[in-house]
């Protein structure tokens, strides 16, 4: 079982040159690192966003020199976070946008930005989705490179480069993937462990998709039975009440042996507790 979905953190070094190098890298289909990438998709910002990040950094660096405060000139203008899911999971572009938005809002709260600082902060968010080949063991799963400018309101957001920020964004990523995609890191087991020697990756993914469809079908069935049970309860139809209760318990037993998520288990138990 995983402790979290994977999030890696690193400062974007080399000042403006570093920002521009990352911008070119993120959408470069010919780069050796993108051998297993099927699509490179901008989901927040554009090249102009990277320019804004660089400009804010250069302005801060110039003010450092003009004020003659000493110390090392600022050389990193942004932090980069890589949000990665294992192979076998492919959220839509819209789902990734929602996930990234949640993570960015959480980091903004962590930095305690005021209204004007937040307005600049949101203009310095660059995110590119890399959809990866899902077959085989080489290469990573789908992931988003998220670059956030560190210079906001004439100050450096030091909170973004601290370990606590990594912990915060990991928690936000976990919660947001569960909220928008419906998958829980606590119930994930590596493909290689589950599929066995003779089961190929695509067969495993097909098997998991079929199982998820069956679970969804049973949950809809249970909800329909519960609606009938509630109606029978309102009309004091004891015969129908007993019939739907038996059907609900039968569906519950079927779902109990399935690989349901924690959220699904909670909803199923709520219905069961209501009728018992």
Q: Concatenated DSSP letters for 199-213?
A: --HHHHHHHHHHHHH
Q: What's the pLDDT score for residue 203?
A: 58
Cβ neighbors of 58 (< 8 A, separation 6 or more) are 15, 16, 77
Indicate the angle between helix axes 262-275 and 201-234, nearest 10 degrees: 20
Q: What is the pLDDT of residues 41-85, one digit of tens each?
A: 999 999 999 999 999 999 999 998 888 766 788 999 999 999 999
- Please provide the distance, in angstroms rounded to a whole number, between the alpha carbons at the two ends of the chain: 33
Q: Could you give the CA distance from residue 248 to residue 267 in angstroms, rounded to a whole number?
A: 13
pTM of the model: 0.70
Taking residues 236-256, what's their average pLDDT? 87
CB 9 within 8 A of CB 83: no
77, with CB counted inside 10 A (0-12, 13-18, 19+), is buried
- Evaluate if residue 1 carries a pLDDT over 50: yes
Predicted local confidence at residue 194, as pLDDT = 45
Strand order through the sheet with 37-44: 6-12, 78-84, 143-149, 125-132, 37-44
Give the tens place of pLDDT for each residue, 119-165. Answer: 999 999 999 999 999 887 788 899 999 999 999 999 999 999 999 99
């Amino acid at each position: 079982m995983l402790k979290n979905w994977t999030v890696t953190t690193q400062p974007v070094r080399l000042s403006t040159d570093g920002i521009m190098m990352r911008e070119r890298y993120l959408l470069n289909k010919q780069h050796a690192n993108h051998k297993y990438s099927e699509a490179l998709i901008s989901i927040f910002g554009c090249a102009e966003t990277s320019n804004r990040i660089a400009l804010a950094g250069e302005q801060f660096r110039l003010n450092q020199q003009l004020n003659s405060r000493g110390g090392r000139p600022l050389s990193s203008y942004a932090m980069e976070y890589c949000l990665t899911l294992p192979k076998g999971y492919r959220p839509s572009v819209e789902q990734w946008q929602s996930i990234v938005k949640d993570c960015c809002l959480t980091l903004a709260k962590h930095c305690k930005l005021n209204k004007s600082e937040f307005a600049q902060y949101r203009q310095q968010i660059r995110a590119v989705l890399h959809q990866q080949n899902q077959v085989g063991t080489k290469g990573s799963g789908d992931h988003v490179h998220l670059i956030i400018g560190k210079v906001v309101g004439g100050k450096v957001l030091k909170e973004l480069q601290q370990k606590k920020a990594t912990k915060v964004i990991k928690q936000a990523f976990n919660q947001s993937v569960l909220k928008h995609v419906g998958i829980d890191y606590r119930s994930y087991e590596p493909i290689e462990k589950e599929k066995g020697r003779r089961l190929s990756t695509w067969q495993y993914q097909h098997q998991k998709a079929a199982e998820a469809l069956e679970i969804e079908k049973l949950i809809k069935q249970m909800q329909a039975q519960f609606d009938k049970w509630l109606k029978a309860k309102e009309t004091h139809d004891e015969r129908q009440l007993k019939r739907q209760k038996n059907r609900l318990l039968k569906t519950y037993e079927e779902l109990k042996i399935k690989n349901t998520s924690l959220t699904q288990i909670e909803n199923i138990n709520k219905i069961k507790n209501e009728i018992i």
